Each structure stands twice: as structure tokens, then as C-alpha cells.
Amino acid sequence: MAIRELKVCLLGDTGVGKSSIVCRFVQDHFDHNISPTIGASFLTKTVPCGNELHKFLIWDTAGQERFHSLAPMYYRGSAAAVIVYDITKLDSFQTLKKWVKELKEHGPEDIVVAIAGNKNDLGDIREVPMKEAKEFAESIAAIFIETSARNAVNVEELFQRISRVFHAVAAFSPRFMEVYSRCPQTKAHLITQRRRSFISITFIQLFIDFLFFLMTWVCFLISGHIVLRFLNFRL
């Protein structure tokens, strides 16, 4: 059975549940205390689709603003982008629209876009109406689905829909898939990208550690100065 590799990146605000969706899809697990992603994380999962296997190469990107500049490194060459928002936070839906605009301007021309409204188990405190989100998705010809990583609702279906899009394209336009297969989706490209990601993440982590060390040293000096002044005052 043929194996087709599909690079997918997840985009969206911090805290919307991107990592939880990936964790649920790949490991069928939900972590209540999952840590924010630094830079990006990489996971894979292979699923059957028709007469072939689709191997998802998933880049889960950080949602914090300070990591935004790293995003193009992950969505370039992607077959699909899953933009996640939190149905209980209207701001995250506004951020989603900014990601859509960025992908249109700088992303791959034929990238498949999927919009996922996560945390639909919290419908009683919903801020983003499903109708509004669905209409927006339809206006940009994107896949739309609401998910719950916590309750394992529609997470598998999200990736199955992406898979079915490419299976249909392969069936009706083999030439397109032939051209697509020549895009930067090779293992060498992915290895290079992972190395760049590792270097970027390592640099960021070292910088954070340096700032922490610097702050600790400054606090130590200030504390020592205060103690010396106190002792001089007592004497």
C-alpha cells in the first residue's frame, strides 16, 4: 500500500488547545497540565485512506506572540494548515482571521486550510457562534469543524477530512499530486527543517535561561547590598 506524506502545521493563539488536539490525535491522550509549546513540536501519525496510507507530519507551533516570526518556517511547504481557536474566547477567533490572511499572502498557494473551534465541551460559556465561524470558513473554502480534545470529539474526524481532500484530489487530478509530490516534502527537507527548529528552540531556551540567571544575580547583588547597609546601620 502506497504511503503519502502530508505535512500539516497547527496555528493559533496560545491556550486554544493546539497541542492537546495533536496529543489526542497521535496518542489518544489528554493532559490537563500540558505546558505551552516553545517554538514548535513535531509528531507523526499514519492513517489509512482509501487504497493508500497518509502519514501526517505534524508541526505544532507555539501560540505566544514572541514565537510568531518562526511560523513561516513551519507552514512553508505544508500540505495543510489547521488554524485553531477557542470557542470560549472571541479574541482567539480574531487572531485566526489574521492567520488566514498571512497564509494567503505568504503561505503555499494550494495549501488546504482547516478551521477548528476547540473546547466545544464548554458550550455554556461560548463566545464564538458556530454559525459565524462556519460561514467564515465557507467564505474562504476551508474545512470547518468544532472539536473537544478533552472529550475526544471530532479530533480524528478533523484529520480524516484533510486526508479525504487529498485522496479526492489524487483521484481526480493525478497530475496535481505528481507535481505536489515534488514540492519540498522530502525527508531531507524535513530533517533540515527539524534541525533549524531545534537550533531556534535551543537558542530561545538558552536566552531565557540567561535572562533568568541575570535576574537571579541582580537580585542577589541587591539583597547583599541591603544586608550590608543594614549591618552598617546596626553598627
Q: What is the pLDDT along the chain (235 residues), one digit of tens a residue?
A: 788 899 999 999 999 999 999 999 999 999 888 877 776 789 999 999 888 899 999 999 887 767 777 888 889 889 999 999 999 999 999 999 999 999 999 998 889 999 999 999 999 999 999 999 999 999 999 999 999 999 999 999 999 999 999 877 665 555 444 444 444 444 444 445 555 555 555 566 666 667 777 777 777 777 766 766 666 655 5
One domain for residues 213 and 144? no
pTM given for the model? 0.73
Final residue before a domain boundary, out of 171, 191, 216: 171
Final residue before a domain boundary, out of 135, 155, 171: 171
One domain for residues 98 and 198? no
One domain for residues 165 and 152? yes
Range of the structural domain that residue 187 is part of: 174-225
Q: Are 63 and 52 in contact (CB under 8 A)?
A: no
One domain for residues 36 and 102? yes
One domain for residues 112 and 192? no
One domain for residues 207 and 115? no
Q: How far apart are CA 90 and CA 179, in angstroms?
A: 39
Q: How far apart are CA 217 and CA 220, in angstroms?
A: 5
Q: How far apart are CA 157 and CA 12, in angstroms?
A: 19
One domain for residues 35 and 124? yes
Q: How many domains does the chain have?
A: 2
One domain for residues 124 and 191? no
- Tell me whether residue 129 is in a domain: yes
